[in-house]
Structure 1
Amino acid sequence: MEKWIEIRKGGNFMEMAKKYGIDPLIARIIRNRDIIDEKEITEYLYGGKETLHNPHLLKDVDKAAEIIAEGIAEKKTMRIIGDYDIDGVNATYILLDGIRRCGGNVDAAIPDRMKDGYGINEHLIEQALSDGKELLITCDNGIAAINEINFAKEKGMTVVVTDHHEIPYRNTEQGKEFLRSNADAIVNPKQADCPYPCKGICGAVVAWKLVQVLYERMDIPVEEADIFIENAGFATVGDVMDLTGENRILVKLGLKALEHTKNPGMKALIAKNKLSDKPLSAYHIGFVLGPCINASGRLDTAKRSLELLLERDEVKASALAGELVELNESRKYMTQQETQKALEQIEKEGREKDKVLVVYLPECHESLAGIIAGRIREAYQRPVFVLTRGEEGVKGSGRSIEAYSMFDKMTEVAELFTKYGGHPMAAGLSMREEDIDKLREQINQKAELSEEDMAEVVRLDAVLPMSYFTVDTIRQLSVLEPCGKSNTKPVFADRNIKITRAGIVGVNRNVLKLHLLDSKGNPVAGVYFGEVEKFLTFLSEKFGSEEVDAAMHGKENSIQFAAVYEPAVDTYSGRESVQAIIRRFR
């Protein structure tokens, strides 16, 4: 079930267009993103480094910098404990390189996904103690490690937590009671009494802000920390943060920095993915470069990704980047196989009507659970937990939909988990195998989801004839970049579209080239990528195979359909023309 809804937010778009020198359509799209006042619009269109928030606004950041600075002065040995995903690896790199620049005696440990699970644990603390470490610094984890940090404190260690995850709580008769460890400093914008304006920054941004304050404290020019903007921006996209406000500016700055990166490892990764000398977008981080960083933490050890960022020798960096690309190819193949198994299991067990899907794939590599959960969510438009057999019990990952706060709902059945944490849209967990059926039953009983909640909603920025767009208008759309979560690429639709000719092209016959007449009767070039047979079957069922055959031969036919499309500039033989890329149809 799919609903197409046109966003209709009022505004004087002509006046706004004139004031800011943009097309009225761009003005409308910006208004659709709830960017209303003059300051917000100016920042959205022209914002740069000067619009980023003051790092000193982060609660405990000055205290954390003071503790680290004193540790450096007293020649204390320090260990950073990071995480094995894109955000954790980049946060670890920022802190490690930043503290070393200040003269700190520091190293890093990244938990092994299979042996350690997520975040700081007693084993890692005991290892740090046996290695003579006196100061522990977490990044992208630690906020929920109440008992573990208490253990470290009992052993006489100093602990600084830097994190961005939800603050853990327990439900009481008086409401939510938020929990806090006795770490010496906790830097996390989600703390209720933290005045930092942008609550949705990722762990790497928190780490970068701490390094800025530390540099200031150590009399190092703060501008030197700008070298980490590319890592902060990379992690913001990789951890799927909202690309609004400060986050969007950071990603914009990060992408520019990445295109001219001086980091040999990052440069090698870009080269191995054949992206050198090309303009980079959030898409390249999210779907090309980022998965390579994640692949080492999934199938091997995230230390390899950290080594890549730390490597200063270009030949070694190239070899490391090549290994990560190969690992990612293996990850893609394994994901495809296990996703198919999961979909077959749901159909076989008749669970496709469950409001929350709980799928158990005991033989699946536990690191792939989150990706597979995301794929199943896309297929069924409902929250999904994918569970796998770990070394101790069951481990799993969840991916949610907008109407269902996964972290809150998991808290309602907290007794079923040995460990859990996450966000409204994603979560991780550990549990006993014998409790899987209980989880499926209870999580569904407590799911207050209507059919409407689970319908895929396609929000349209405008219903416009395809011929509205010129090469210049399409180029103007670039001011909306970087696009991603909460600042999606603009979505357009047109109705009563006719086909004057269609033809299948491409080596794999997976491209449909279309000659169309749009709703105004104007000729437009169209193209549909992917499941061509699915599109043609849809047309045959609606209009008959004779009409589809007529369209394929350029003959008159009765086909009319509506489409969600993306306007694009087609460059062929040095000539530029407009084409509509069909994304959805009905």
Structure 2
Amino acid sequence: MRWTLKPKPDADKVKSLSKALNVEPTIASLLVQRGIETFKEAEEFFRPNLENLHDPYLMKDMDQAVARIEKAISSEENILIYGDYDVDGTTSVALLSSYLKSYYPNVSTYIPDRYDEGYGVSYKGIDYAHDNDFSLIIALDCGIKAIDKVAYASEKNIDFIICDHHRPGKEIPDAIAVLDPKRKDCDYPYKELCGCGVGFKLVQALAELRGLMLKDLILYLDLVATAIAADIVPITGENRILAYYGLKVINSNPRTGFKAILKQIKKKTLTITDVVFIIAPRINAAGRMKHGNHAVTLLTENDVDKAEIYAAEIENYNRERRDADKQITEEALQQILNNKEEERLTTVVYQENWHKGVIGIVASRLTETYYRPTLVFTKSGEKLAASARSVRGFDVYNALEGCAEYIEQFGGHMYAAGLTLFEKDFENFKNEFEKVVSETIDKNLLTPEITIDAEINLNEITPKFFRILKQFAPFGPGNMTPTFMTQNLRDTGWGKCVGEDNKHLRVVVKQENSNQFTAIGFNLAEKQNIACDGKPFKAAYCIDENEWQGNVSLQLRLKDIME
């Protein structure tokens, strides 16, 4: 691990904010690092307000989208809500369909089959719309590159509205409206919405026409918060507001489908991290192992008994997903070793029978192991399909663009993408991807980095300090949980390895004249010698709470330790 201490922010700004807020300089420093420099900005940060959401009509084509939907309703047309099979897509479909159905009956949903149709808008989906007399398709979390598909739909007298957040290609589909804040010709102030976020902006615009206020839409925000968490978009600006209120809904008044999931896991209060690791995998499991329709059905069900049956089915899919994930990861790691590819700057593995639904998860696991841009391929019909994952600071989407001559289709983000290619091009692609990455990546990015917000002493960690830190939540990209560094720590003699196979390190540390704190380092057992040999050491850590037998205490969650 390489430790990078963030530059200290401007001392005068820190002093001024510390005084204005009556908080410790370290808290003020953390805020200034996040671009919060005034009392008003701090108030907006600590007290997110729905009134600070942007006017949805600032998004290009929003007026056309609303007008076309209103025309469809007045003409009693059938509307098909179409979305991708992952969390962002299924929550988007659940959001828009449940909102429209609250006052208009002629609304149905469509999720493409991951294996039969693949990602995004499909010809099969358009044929389904045509055969069932749908004259308007609203595509969510996909469609920005569906130029040929939109043209095909137009030939069948089907109009398209696209709500997407992926990067557009050189050409925009010829749809009635294309809502995507990443369009170069879109002046919408916030560019980092997820697909469900774009869908919510459409709902917000439609609701204004009916005289509804933002507070009337709060109950839909559990879906938006889940999509924000699962899609790992920045939790800044509008996303922070939407996630903040969405988490409140999840923890106080979640929809019936979420209640059914939460009943199985028996956890009281969920954070964004819990949503990422508890709710999102279960919703995703439907599309990975069976069909995304199961997720939409659960998320739109109002009957408690039915929802619990659907949630139990999805729990089974999630167990299957975990088993497949574990097996394929082991096989992929073995393939890397057998091919003696440890020294490459990229990981590209392929086996034709790997489960397409879990290759994205496996790519993430391999990235954790070798920490380099990674692609996991499997057979998909007559082509090969892959999921790509990257390391922090490296744009894998741009790298794929550099290999475009060997790719049939691709799309995605800086850190995650998907692609298809023909089997005859696999070896050429693999070599070209290694070449492009080798020529463009900063080699430092191939070593995992711990970004440290501030160096502090243990005596600064007080209940009040932690109480304010908790109000920085919800945490995520752009607003990560603060990481601290403390030097001259010593173990008090209680250090030991714990957990299954003794993989984790537990120490009780103190500095001279400080209180002592329990520190837990997951998968840090190999650092026991550094922590427990009686010599001083330094640690990078986050602060969290530990509850044991009804007692709550502050503890350090170690990220790494060094001599």
TM-score, length-normalised on structure 1?
0.90
Q: What is the deviation of 1:352?
A: 2.3
One-letter amino acid matched to 1:473: F
What does residue range 52-451 of structure 1 map to in structure 2 within 5 Å?
52-168=53-169, 178-219=170-211, 223-275=215-267, 278-447=268-437, 448-451=440-443
The verdict on how the C-alpha distance between 1:309 and 1:558 changes in structure 2, with shifts beyond 3 A counting, is closer
**Is the 2:483–2:540 Cα contact (8 Å) retained in structure 1?**
yes
Alpha-carbon distance in structure 2 between the residues aligned to 1:38 and 1:19: 6
TM-align CA RMSD? 2.1
Alpha-carbon distance in structure 2 between the residues aligned to 1:414 and 1:101: 44
The verdict on how the C-alpha distance between 1:440 and 1:267 changes in structure 2, with shifts beyond 3 A counting, is same
Alpha-carbon distance in structure 2 between the residues aligned to 1:302 and 1:196: 30
Q: What is the deviation of 1:517?
A: 3.0
Find the residue that maps to 2:492 and give its secondary structure.
strand
- Select the residue among 465, 488, 502 that pairs with 1:496: 488
Q: What is the deviation of 1:202?
A: 0.8
Q: What is the deviation of 1:389?
A: 1.3
Alpha-carbon distance in structure 2 between the residues aligned to 1:573 and 1:134: 60
Alpha-carbon distance in structure 1 between the residues aligned to 2:214 and 2:487: 54
Q: What is the deviation of 1:529?
A: 4.4
Alpha-carbon distance in structure 1 between the residues aligned to 2:545 and 2:204: 41
Q: What is the deviation of 1:104?
A: 4.5
Find the residue that maps to 2:109 and give its secondary structure.
strand
> What are the superposed Cα offsets for residues 212-242 of structure 1, whole Å, 9 maximum, x if unpaired?
2123334556643332122112111111110
**Is the 1:66–1:214 Cα contact (8 Å) retained in structure 2?**
no
Q: Which residue of 2 aligns with 1:585?
A: 561
> What are the superposed Cα offsets for residues 378-400 of structure 1, whole Å, 9 maximum, x if unpaired?
22222111111112311011111
Alpha-carbon distance in structure 1 between the residues aligned to 2:339 and 2:382: 26
**Is the 2:505–2:525 Cα contact (8 Å) retained in structure 1?**
no
State, as a whole percentage, how many aligned pairs show the same letter: 29
Name structure 1 gaps, 5 residues minimum: 169-177, 543-547, 552-556
Q: Which residue of 2 aligns with 1:517?
A: 510
Higher mean Cα deviation, 117-126 or 10-19?
A: 10-19
**Is the 2:218–2:249 Cα contact (8 Å) retained in structure 1?**
no
Find the residue that maps to 1:472 and give its secondary structure.
helix
> What are the superposed Cα offsets for residues 375-422 of structure 1, whole Å, 9 maximum, x if unpaired?
222222221111111123110111112432222222222221221111
The verdict on how the C-alpha distance between 1:414 and 1:271 changes in structure 2, with shifts beyond 3 A counting, is same
> What are the superposed Cα offsets for residues 134-183 of structure 1, whole Å, 9 maximum, x if unpaired?
11110111110011111111221111111111011xxxxxxxxx201111
The verdict on how the C-alpha distance between 1:337 and 1:92 changes in structure 2, with shifts beyond 3 A counting, is same
- Number of aligned residue pairs: give it: 558
The verdict on how the C-alpha distance between 1:421 and 1:506 changes in structure 2, with shifts beyond 3 A counting, is closer
**Is the 1:6–1:459 Cα contact (8 Å) retained in structure 2?**
yes
Alpha-carbon distance in structure 2 between the residues aligned to 1:41 and 1:262: 29
> What are the superposed Cα offsets for residues 21-53 of structure 1, whole Å, 9 maximum, x if unpaired?
333222111222233455533321222111111
Higher mean Cα deviation, 381-390 or 446-455?
A: 446-455
**Is the 1:81–1:108 Cα contact (8 Å) retained in structure 2?**
yes
**Is the 2:50–2:214 Cα contact (8 Å) retained in structure 1?**
no
**Is the 2:113–2:291 Cα contact (8 Å) retained in structure 1?**
yes
**Is the 1:526–1:582 Cα contact (8 Å) retained in structure 2?**
no
Q: What is the deviation of 1:298?
A: 0.6
> What are the superposed Cα offsets for residues 478-519 of structure 1, whole Å, 9 maximum, x if unpaired?
11100011211000112232223124455765554423232x
Alpha-carbon distance in structure 2 between the residues aligned to 1:291 and 1:326: 12
Q: Which residue of 1 aligns with 2:523?
A: 531
The verdict on how the C-alpha distance between 1:190 and 1:583 changes in structure 2, with shifts beyond 3 A counting, is same
Q: What is the deviation of 1:97?
A: 1.2
Alpha-carbon distance in structure 2 between the residues aligned to 1:471 and 1:223: 33
Higher mean Cα deviation, 560-569 or 438-447?
A: 560-569
Higher mean Cα deviation, 482-491 or 443-452?
A: 443-452
Alpha-carbon distance in structure 1 between the residues aligned to 2:87 and 2:315: 15
Alpha-carbon distance in structure 2 between the residues aligned to 1:186 and 1:200: 16
The verdict on how the C-alpha distance between 1:262 and 1:338 changes in structure 2, with shifts beyond 3 A counting, is closer
Q: What is the deviation of 1:575?
A: 4.8
Alpha-carbon distance in structure 2 between the residues aligned to 1:109 and 1:344: 39
Alpha-carbon distance in structure 1 between the residues aligned to 2:445 and 2:555: 34
**Is the 1:66–1:217 Cα contact (8 Å) retained in structure 2?**
no
Q: What is the deviation of 1:535?
A: 2.9
Higher mean Cα deviation, 558-567 or 304-313?
A: 558-567
Q: Which residue of 2 aligns with 1:11?
A: 11
TM-score, length-normalised on structure 2?
0.94
Name structure 2 gaps, 5 residues minimum: none
